Amino acid sequence: MEVACKLTVAKALRPPDRGGGITSTIQCLIDAMPAAIVILADDLSILQSNRRWHDLFEQESDPISDCGIGDPYCDFALKLWEFSPVSPKQVARELKIVAAGEKGGASLTAETTLSDGVHHWAISIFPLKIDNRVRIIVSHEDVTTTVRLTEERRTRATELLTAQIEDRRHLGRELHDSTAQHLVAMSLVLIGLQPPYGSSAISEAVAELKSLVSQVTQEVRIYSYLLHPPELAGVGIARALEDYVKGFVRRTGLPVSFEWNVAQSHRLVSAEVAILRIVQEALGNVHRHADAAQAWVLGNQTDNEFSLVIADSGRGIDPTAAETGVGIASMRARAAELGGTLSIHGSTTGTLVIAHLPLAPAA
């Protein structure tokens, strides 16, 4: 949008080949653009605006007839807009820096309340020099629909992940409370079938069945634990992960090294559930697919970022599975929901799952 606007206005500001006023040419072109545009004079007052800019104020119950023409942009606009994440003083400073030629442009976001509700804006500031005079173009693009769709998509993704968690919890409980108990009953029946005398073939068959039932029971208990991990409430992410890893080792027999180098775990509160689920999914994949002899879970903190690494010494993930697996897509979605990223790297010596998540601002 900024580039298109800049090219259009630059074309308009070229001297016409024959006759005609520059001002009228500019006006026609910027009126045809969907963004609300103002052109600022050398002193950063509003020199010219397009129809969309006027429409913003004429639709209000108390319309502003001149729409700020002749007023300093900051004095006029900052009464109407709530700029974020920068302050009004920073907005004024950005304008002056761009006008002075110290910066090629700036992008800001803003909100304003109109008669039909809150609107979100992407604001682009860029300079154009005409005959050694600086003209600052400020484009205000209404991105309300995009913001709302993004928020709705994030809400739906959260609801889907929450439903998935609950489904897994339910399945984990069923495996533990029902399926595992039935397997125990089967084992007891097989013990009763063990004849005190008889053919060795029958004895061997019963012994083999008992061994198979024992293995299945162990697997069911492992999957029950993987699907229904301990709660975070009142424990904190470091302790919850440590307990989960210990439980995983105890049930699977796979050695897992856990290391937590995070000095400010309180800055991870909003990400705790996602971190636990990523570790849960990654270790589950190690157990099911990696045939590994060792695994590692490592949490690290830099100034404003948390990194999580889950590694194993197994056969390495299939690149196709890394792109199409449902569990992997779930891990990526959890990271993206928090503004982070998750990548997976496989080789013949094992698999690396690496998540980078932003830390909440320090108190």
3-class DSSP string for 115-138: CCEEEEEEEEEEEEEECCEEEEEE
- Say which residue the tokens 């052109």 belong to: 39
CA angle 26, 30, 36 (to 5 degrees): 140
What is the SS3 assignment for 310? strand
Could you give phi then psi for residue 181, rounded to 5 degrees?
-65, -35
C-alpha 94: how far from chain center: 28
Residue type, 348: T
pLDDT of residue 227: 66
C-alpha 124: how far from chain center: 24
Distance between CA 96 and CA 93 in Å, rounded? Answer: 5
Q: How many CA atoms does the CB half-sphere of 354 hold within 13 Å? A: 8
Q: Using a CB cutoff of 8 Å and minimum separation of 24, what contacts does 289-294 make?
A: 289/314, 289/315, 289/317, 289/321, 290/314, 290/315, 290/317, 290/350, 290/351, 291/315, 292/254, 292/350, 293/254, 293/255, 294/254, 294/255, 294/256, 294/257
Distance between CA 341 and CA 356 in Å, rounded? Answer: 5
pLDDT of residue 23: 63
pLDDT of residue 294: 96
CB atoms within 10 A of CB 190: 19
pLDDT of residue 43: 86
User: Sign (positive/negative) of CA torsion 17, 22, 24, 30?
Assistant: positive
Pairing mode of beta strands 256-261, 295-301: parallel
pLDDT of residue 226: 65
pLDDT tens across the length of the chain (363 residues):
554 554 444 444 444 433 333 467 777 888 888 898 998 888 888 888 888 888 877 665 555 567 788 888 888 877 777 776 667 788 888 888 888 888 889 888 888 777 778 888 898 998 876 556 778 899 989 999 998 888 888 777 767 766 766 776 667 666 766 676 777 777 777 766 666 655 677 777 777 777 777 777 777 777 766 666 556 666 788 998 998 899 889 888 999 999 999 988 888 888 888 898 899 889 988 988 899 999 999 999 988 899 999 999 999 988 776 666 667 888 898 898 888 999 999 988 999 999 999 988 776
What is the SS3 assignment for 108? strand
pLDDT of residue 161: 65
